[in-house]
Structure 1
Amino acid sequence: MNRAHLNMYLLLAMSLCISGCFEQAPPSGFEAVEPAEQDPMRLGCPNLIDTYRLSSAQEHNRLLKEPTNGKDYSYFIISSLVADQAYNYSLRMDRNHFISKAQELKNSDPEKYFHWRENAVRLSKTYSAKNLADVLQYGSAYEQQGQFHVYGCSKGWVKIQEIETSATDTKSEQSFIKQDDVWLARDKYGNLLIRTISYQQKPGWTFWAAGGAGTRLIRINDQWDKIKKASDANFTTTWTEADLPTITKPVHDANECHLSENGILNLNQNLIHSGLTIERFSLNRSTIKDGACTRASILIGFTSSNSAQANSTIQALEKDPVVDTVEILETRSENEKLHYQVQVNLRVGQ
């Protein structure tokens, strides 16, 4: 038998196998609709590209493999078909819900929020498995993307998954490999239909393998699920960086509260050279409060011979690069001298 005839028989066998999966009529409400106009290369295949509304009813269907929290992810989006061989899809949160969860994280754990926001912004710009894992390390991801393989089509259904898991026969108490074949279709309302056909794998004969040794599939049951077509437009509005308030990185070690020792030394030297009599120069270093450095300050007491000299000194302090503000705490006249107590508040990070 030449190769051309062999390929023809193989394609015929695959077609018969796929068609054989649908000898049972679907229950009411799960009738598939084939597209009116079909690509000759995709006969019997549905058009799945659309957005669907998730609910808690879909948390454990086999389409999504891992249990999905319907309270978090609101939309299931099939976005594109790649070379007739795979569908790109994504799970997406409602925008308002995403922003609300971000605010909760910010209030409950500012440090975790700081790292989460940094990674969430990065993921929104460049989607990758690594960036997604970085986000999930600290909180929730607005969107998770994936891909389904196209195995074949029949009567408006497309097979997109073969999931193998270990199972146990309750009667014989023997373990076996369970195979779940997941098929997708659309109904007349545009809803996404999900049919999961479960099989028990057993040793058997097949012409696919050398020597005929292969696997027989013993049908166990069928499971039917449905995800409704999204009727709202909220999924089209995505979040922006402005929706996630920025915060400074929380501080845990007082050594992170930096002071410019040289800047403070220069400030002290400028006071001495101003001609004033310095009575007090006391530095209050930063401490940590609510994950942030408190503002460091210097309490300065000096004596001046006249108010003009004192005012000039205060103005010079206000212009110093390490100074944020200057507060006059006390002024008094004694023995023909003016005595000042001022608090110099240093800039954050100085």
Structure 2
Amino acid sequence: METSAIDRARTTEFAPDTVYLNTSSCGLLPRGTVDAVTTLAEENALGRRPGGGDHGTVAAARDGFARFTGTDAGRVAVGGSVAGQVALVAASLPAGSEVLAPEGEFSSVVSPFAQRGNLKMRYVPLAGLADAVRPDTALVAFSAVQSSDGRVAGLEAVREAAAAYGARTLLDASQAAGWLPLDTGAYDYTVTGAFKFLLCPRGTTFLTVTEEAQETLPALHAGLLSAQDPDAALYGPVQRLADEARRFDEPVSFLSYAGAAHSLALLDGIGVDTLHAHATGLAARFRAGLAGLGHEAVPGDSAVVAVPGLGSRQPVLARAGIVVSQRAGNLRAAFHLYNTEADVDRALDVLSG
């Protein structure tokens, strides 16, 4: 029988000693990613890497993210934190602008706007987000998949409503990119913490910006690597910023991005449609098993499964070697390429008591 791309990746890249269902918090690092980081660290220790790393590897990670998420590399800026990249968008808004967001949205998505102190923040239930867009809405900021309970936003409806009123959109894809097919080019901005379903080391984030939105976004992190010609921008203020989204790059960790280049190539080789089918299939099996035990999960077809009121069982699962998380009272389990039906059944067995 032919071995699937997921089976090959699971065999060659992963060997967890737990039942790991916590990718929503942090993804497992593939073996090749660990090797890339280790190799660079050892080269630094031996003095073989002047400057500590390779700008070409950062470019490879940028290209890999663009390819996997269906956008152009010229729209992608690299960074180290979602909040830092959201802050660029927050800084671009005129005082008094209205920012619309879901109630209970992840802190990094809304805090940079709220901390401005001179923006109008409005929060509505996720299900009513599209209907809540109005003529004076400047920006809709929301996650594709909610961190607390795995709900998937009505992406097309929000995009259409924002376009109808001339509002821009900021999508956080941190809980989605890696298993949910996304068109990042359909939003004015997207931010993605790549250490979850993209299986990159912490310290890798990606910001996408449309060409139109690039005209109003401030290059607050501008430095040597933001220049059109970095070799000519070593000293003094950068005279000419890069023509593309690279001008919004943050200074990055070469170690993190050395690993990211491998992780993104691995996922791209499998394909997001295959990853989606695998992860959501396991999640559906888990929801069905939970229902059989009398526990109703948050409905939907997300790869992230949340069970209201069951968060207190997280320590019990941990003692049994099953890694999940507790968020807002929910027991939260997330499924990815390294998980199997046996993982689902083991978790259900423990929950059955």
Coarse TM-score class (shorter-chain normalised): under 0.3
With the length of structure 2 as denominator, give the TM-score of the two structures.
Answer: 0.22
Higher relative contact order (CA 8 A, sep 6+): 2
With the length of structure 1 as denominator, give the TM-score of the two structures.
Answer: 0.22
Max Rg structure? 1
Normalized per residue, the structure richer in strand is 1
